[in-house]
Amino acid sequence: MEYANLGTSGLKVSRIALGCMSFGRPGTGRDWALDADAAKPIFQQAVDLGITLWDTANTYSRGTSEEITGEAVKRYTSRDQVVIATKLFAPMGPGPGGRGLSRRAVFEQLDASLRRLGTDWIDLYQIHRFDPHTPVEETMEALHNAVKSGKVRYLGASSMWAWQFSKLQYTAQLHGWTKFISMQDQYNLVAREEEREMFPLLSDQGVGSLPWSPLAAGLVTRPWGDASTTRGALNPTADASGTPLFLDSDRGTVDAVQRIAQARGISMAQVAMAWVLRNPVVTAPIVGATKSHHLADAVAALDIDLGKDEVTALEESYTPRRPTYYGSESGY
- Give me the active site residues, please: 60
**CB-based contacts of 162, cutoff 8 Å, min separation 6:** 197, 198, 201
Q: How far apart are CA 270 and CA 264, in angstroms?
A: 10
> CB-side exposure of 205: number of CA atoms within 13 Å?
24
The SS3 call for residue 297 is helix
CA distances to 131, 192, 275 from 196, in Å: 23, 8, 17
CA dihedral of 138, 144, 149, 152, whole degrees rounded to 10: 110
Q: How far apart are CA 133 and CA 139, in angstroms?
A: 11
Write the DSSP assignment of 13-35 as a string of letters. EESSEEEGGGB--TTSS-TT-B-
Confirm if 152 and 144 have CB atoms less than 8 A apart.
no
Q: How far apart are CA 34 and CA 43, in angstroms?
A: 11
Confirm if 273 and 215 have CB atoms less than 8 A apart.
yes
Confirm if 123 and 11 have CB atoms less than 8 A apart.
yes
